[in-house]
Chain A
Amino acid sequence: MVGPLTNVQRSATHPLGIAIRGVSKAFGRVRALDDITLSVEAGQFVAIIGPSGCGKTTLLKIVAGLLRPDAGRVEIGGVPVTGPGPDRAMVFQDFALLPWASVLRNVTFGLEVRGAPRPVRHAVAQRVIAKVGLAGFEHHYPHQLSGGMQQRVGLARALAVNPQILLMDEPFASVDEQTRRLLQDDLLTLWADERKTVLLVTHSMDEAIYLADQVFVLSPRPGRLFRIIEVDLPRPRSSQTTRASAAFGRLVEDLWGILKEMQ
C-alpha cells in the first residue's frame, strides 16, 4: 500500500498500469459512458479523443477517483480505485491555480495536503519548478503569469507529488498554438526523464498522435470505445522530425477518418 508521503520521498517511481473494466456512468438521464473497457500499460502515454460530450473528461475523473462509476471498475496496479490517491495527480484545462498563492505555494499544494514538512515541500517544489522551466518565478502570482506559464505551474504541482499516473484534462486547450507546441515538447522531455503512465484527454488529433503511444477514440454520447490507434512513431519525438514525417501525417488523417466515421 502506498503511504501518503512514500511517493514524495521516493526518487524513482515505478509507473503503474490502468485497467478499466466495463465502466458506465450516467448523470440523471444522460448516459455519459457505456461499458468502457480498456487497458493502459505501465509507463505508456495514452491519449483519449472524441467529439464533445463523449465522456472523455468523465472517464478521466473516474480514474482520478473524483467520480464513482455506476457499473464496472478501475484498477490501478491491480488495486481498485475508491477515491483520489497519492498514486495519481491531475492537470486541469483551466489551470485551477489558487489566485492568492504564489507559484511556490501552488506547487506545494499537494504536498501540504499530504502533510509533508515545510523544508521537504520547498525543496521538492524548487526542483520541480526548475524542471518545468519556471526557475526564478517562485514568488510570482498566477495573474502575473501567461497562460502557458500558469499551466507549467499546474504541471509542476502534479509532478511535485511524484505520482505514478498523470491525468491530464485537455491541458493545452487554453493556450495559443505556439505555446502549446512548446508545452507538448516539454511534457515529452519530462516524461522521458521521469517515466509515468500518462492519460491525456484532448480535442486535438495532432496532439494525440504527436504525444501518445496509443489513442483511444470514444464515440459520441453515450461514450463507447470506438477504436484504438497504435502510434508507432519513433521516440524521442520532435516537431522537426516527427511532425514533418509522412507517417505522422498519415496517422492524423487516419484518425480524422475515424472521427468522421462516427458522425
Chain B
Amino acid sequence: MGESWALVWGLRGAVVLVVLGVWEWAGRVPVNFAFPTATATARAFAELLGSGALPRAFGISAQAFLLGYGAAVLVGVPFGLLMGLIRPLGRIARVYLDLLITMPMAALVPLVILTMGVRITSSALIVFIFSMPFLATNAYGGVRDVQARLYEMARAFDARWLQILRMVVFPSALPMVLAGMRYGLSRAFIGLVIAELLLAPFGVGRIIVDARSVFAFDRMFAAVLSVILAALLLLSGLQQVEARLLHWRR
C-alpha cells in the first residue's frame, strides 16, 4: 500500500496548500477590508499565545467547559445506562431525549442568561444542555445493543444480575458510550462557543468580540481558529483514549 499511501498524503498536502494559498490571496486582494491574510492571522496567533492572553482566556473558558461537560458525562451516561436497563424508563425518556436532540439548544441560551445571569455557571449549564442528551442517548443505545445471546450465555452459567452488568452489559456498551462522549465533547464545544459569543465578558469569546470591536480582524480570526484547534486537539485525545480502551477491536 506504500505507493497509494504516498499519493493520498501528497494530495492532502496539496489541498492544504491550495486552501492556504487561496486564503492568502483573498486577504491580499482584499476580498473584504475585514479579511486578513493567512500570514497575518498566523502572526496574530503567535502574538496571542506569547502574550499569554490566549492561554489565560482558555483557562477561564476551560472552567466552564469542564464543569459543564463533566456534569453532562456524570449525569448523562448513568442515566442513559439506566434507561437501557429499565424498559419503561427508557421508552418514556427516549422521546424527550429525541426532542432535546432535535431542538436548537441555542434558543435556550437567552433564557439561561436571564435566569442565571452572566457567570461561569451559566456557561457551564449551556455546555451541559448542549451535550447531555447525546451522552444519554448513546449510553442508552449501547445497553440496548447488547447481544441477546450473551445474556443467555451468562444466565446459562448462572450469573447474577450484578455480574451480568459488570461482565457483559458494561463492556458491551462501552464503545457506544465512548462514541457518545466523543460526540458529546464536540457538542460541548459548540455550546461553549455559543455561550461565550452571547455572554462575551470572559474567555476566548471575549477576545473574539473585543478584537472585532477594535477592527483587529487578524486577532479575531486567530482566536476563532484557536478554538477550532483546541476542539480538534481534545477530540483527538479522546479518540486515543478510546482506541486504547477498545484495543480488542481490529
With A83-B158, A112-B167, A113-B163 in contact, is A100–B248 under 8 Å at CB?
yes
Q: Is the beta-carbon distance between B149 and A94 smaller than 8 angstroms?
A: yes
Q: B residues within 8 A CB of A84?
A: 155-158
A109 contacts partner chain B, Cβ-Cβ < 8 Å: yes
Stretch in contact with the other chain, from A8-16, A85-93, A221-229: A85-93
Interface centre among B155, B171, B250 (most CB of A within 10 A): B155
C-alpha spacing A101/B166, complex, angstroms: 13
C-alpha spacing A83/B158, complex, angstroms: 8
Q: Is the beta-carbon distance between A143 and B250 smaller than 8 angstroms?
A: yes
Q: Is the beta-carbon distance between A96 and B167 smaller than 8 angstroms?
A: no
Q: Is the beta-carbon distance between A109 and B248 smaller than 8 angstroms?
A: no
Q: A residues within 8 A CB of B160?
A: 113
C-alpha spacing A94/B155, complex, angstroms: 16
B156 touches which of A66, A101, A102, A143 (Cβ 8 Å): A66
* Chain A contacts with B in 16-58, Cβ cutoff 8 A: none
Q: Is the beta-carbon distance between A100 and B172 smaller than 8 angstroms?
A: yes
Q: A residues within 8 A CB of B153?
A: 90, 92, 96
A96 touches which of B149, B171, B172, B248 (Cβ 8 Å): B149
B152 contacts partner chain A, Cβ-Cβ < 8 Å: yes
Q: Is the beta-carbon distance between A101 and B248 smaller than 8 angstroms?
A: yes
- Which bracket fits the contact residues of B? 20 to 34
Q: B residues within 8 A CB of A161?
A: 157
C-alpha spacing A101/B249, complex, angstroms: 10
C-alpha spacing A85/B155, complex, angstroms: 10
C-alpha spacing A86/B153, complex, angstroms: 14
Q: Is the beta-carbon distance between B155 and A66 smaller than 8 angstroms?
A: yes
B159 contacts partner chain A, Cβ-Cβ < 8 Å: yes
C-alpha spacing A32/B33, complex, angstroms: 80
* Chain B contacts with A in 95-151, Cβ cutoff 8 A: 149-150
The residue of chain A having its C-beta at the shortest distance from the C-beta of B160 within the complex is A113
C-alpha spacing A120/B159, complex, angstroms: 19
* Chain B contacts with A in 201-250, Cβ cutoff 8 A: 246, 248-250
A171 contacts partner chain B, Cβ-Cβ < 8 Å: no
Q: B residues within 8 A CB of A65?
A: 156, 158
- Which bracket fits the contact residues of A? 20 to 34
Q: Is the beta-carbon distance between B163 and A96 smaller than 8 angstroms?
A: no
Least CB distance from A35 to B in Å reads 25
Least CB distance from A81 to B in Å reads 12
A64 touches which of B156, B168, B250 (Cβ 8 Å): B156
Q: A residues within 8 A CB of B152?
A: 66, 92, 96
C-alpha spacing A99/B149, complex, angstroms: 12
With A99-B248, A100-B172, A143-B250 in contact, is A113–B156 under 8 Å at CB?
no
The residue of chain A having its C-beta at the shortest distance from the C-beta of B168 within the complex is A98
* Chain B contacts with A in 156-195, Cβ cutoff 8 A: 156-160, 163, 167-168, 171-172, 174
B157 touches which of A102, A110, A143 (Cβ 8 Å): A110
Q: Is the beta-carbon distance between A96 and B157 smaller than 8 angstroms?
A: no
The residue of chain A having its C-beta at the shortest distance from the C-beta of B150 within the complex is A96
Task: Mark contacts of A112-128 with chain B using CB atoms, 8 A cut-off: 1 yes-contact digit, 0 otherwise.
Answer: 11100000000000000
Least CB distance from A2 to B in Å reads 12
With A66-B152, A92-B149, A99-B248 in contact, is A113–B172 under 8 Å at CB?
no
C-alpha spacing A140/B191, complex, angstroms: 42
C-alpha spacing A53/B157, complex, angstroms: 25
B154 contacts partner chain A, Cβ-Cβ < 8 Å: yes
C-alpha spacing A89/B168, complex, angstroms: 18
Q: A residues within 8 A CB of B150?
A: 96, 98
Q: A residues within 8 A CB of B167?
A: 98, 109, 112-113
A141 contacts partner chain B, Cβ-Cβ < 8 Å: yes
Known: A64-B156, A90-B156, A143-B249. 15 other contacts (CB 8 A): A66-B156, A84-B156, A84-B158, A92-B149, A92-B153, A94-B149, A96-B152, A96-B153, A98-B168, A98-B171, A98-B172, A101-B171, A109-B154, A113-B159, A141-B248
Going nearest first, the 7 A-B pairs with the smallest beta carbon separation are A96-B153, A84-B158, A110-B157, A90-B156, A113-B159, A100-B248, A96-B149
List chain A positions with a Cβ less than 8 A from chain B: 64-66, 83-86, 89-90, 92, 94, 96, 98-102, 109-110, 112-114, 141, 143-144, 161
Jot down 23 A-B pairs with beta carbons below 8 A, ordered by A. Answer: A64-B156, A65-B156, A84-B158, A86-B158, A92-B149, A92-B152, A92-B153, A96-B149, A96-B152, A96-B153, A98-B172, A100-B174, A100-B248, A102-B248, A109-B157, A110-B157, A113-B158, A113-B159, A113-B160, A114-B158, A141-B248, A143-B249, A144-B250
